Amino acid sequence: MENDNALLWEVTFWEFLLVTVMLAGSAAYLTGRAIAQAWETNLQLAFYIVLLAGATRFIHFALFSGSLLTLHYYLVDLAVLLLIAFVGKRITRAWQMSTQYSFFFARNGLLGWKARG
């Protein structure tokens, strides 16, 4: 599986899965959750994830001999991390709306809420 799909991962699929999806993805999810709990904007979340994607590229470079300054793989990491972060924010926001404003909103699936009545 090494370099089979160079569109998404640079060295191996397992390295991409470990570093980008599991390690940095969990940090992105927690960042999205923290932004939602602080009632901050999506722009602030995107800024933090841009920094996290840079740190992720450094881990690929330092531990797995990946390239540090490659725009393509930076954008791939950024897209994956933004997706995970915004899902984390949305799950937390749905929980907030259905618990803090339970008199007006009810939970509607994992990512949504709806008005009561």
> How is residue 92 written in tokens?
């937390």
Residue with the two structure tokens 């996290």? 52
How confident is the model at residue 114, as a pLDDT? 83
Write out the E strands in 10-78.
Answer: none
Asked whether the beta carbons of 49 and 28 are under 8 A apart, the reply is yes
CA distance 18 to 42: 26
Q: What is the pLDDT of residues 96-113, one digit of tens each?
A: 988 888 888 888 888 888
Q: What is the pLDDT of residues 73-93, one digit of tens each?
A: 999 999 999 999 999 999 999
Residue with the two structure tokens 């599986």? 1
The DSSP output letter for 113 is E
Q: What is the pLDDT of residues 17-66, one digit of tens each?
A: 999 999 999 999 999 999 999 999 999 999 999 999 999 999 999 998 88
Asked whether the beta carbons of 20 and 75 are under 8 A apart, the reply is no
